[in-house]
Amino acid sequence: MIKQSFIVASLLLGLSACQSSPQAQIEDLAIEGTWHIEVANGQAVIDYSPAQLTFEAEGKLTGNNSCNNFFGSYVLSGQSLQLQPAGHTMKACVDALMAQEQRVMQAMPAISQGKLSKGKLLLQDADNKTLLILSKK
C-alpha cells in the first residue's frame, strides 16, 4: 500500500512538473500621446516642421505629415505595431515639405514594430530598419 501511494505521488509530482507555466504577458509599448517626427526614412525633418503622430486610445491615429493632416488607425500588440493611414487633407506646401510628407506617408504602412530607446520611439519595418524616429511632445 505504501509502495502504491509512493508511486501515485511520484506520478502526480512528475505530471505537475511537466505542466508549462503561463508565459509572461508582453506589455504593449507606451506610445499613447503626441510624438514629433525627427527622422523620416533616414532624413532629418525640416526644423520647425509640424510633422507629428498622435496615438490615441482604442487605436485611433492622427497627425501631420509635414504639410497635411492625416487620420487612420494603428494596431499595437507588445512591440508589434501597424500604422494604417486612411486619409489626409490635400493642401499644397513648399516643395521641401511636400517631399518630406511623401517620406512620412511612405514609411507609415511599412512599419511593423516599435521600440523605445533613450527616450525616442523607433518605428521599424520587418527587417529592423528604422523608418521613423519620434520624440514625445
CATH numbers and ranges of domains, the chain: 27-136 (2.40.128.270)
Q: How far apart are CA 49 and CA 63, in angstroms?
A: 12
* Segment 6-26 mean pLDDT: 53
Residue 112 backbone dihedrals phi, psi, to 5 degrees = -130, -10
Number of Cβ within a 10 Å radius of residue 104: 26
Predicted pLDDT of residue 7: 56
* Segment 68-85 mean pLDDT: 97
What pTM was estimated for this model as a whole? Answer: 0.80
pLDDT digits over 78-101, tens only?
A: 999 999 999 999 999 999 999 999
Number of Cβ within a 10 Å radius of residue 67: 23
Confidence check: pLDDT of 70 > 80: yes
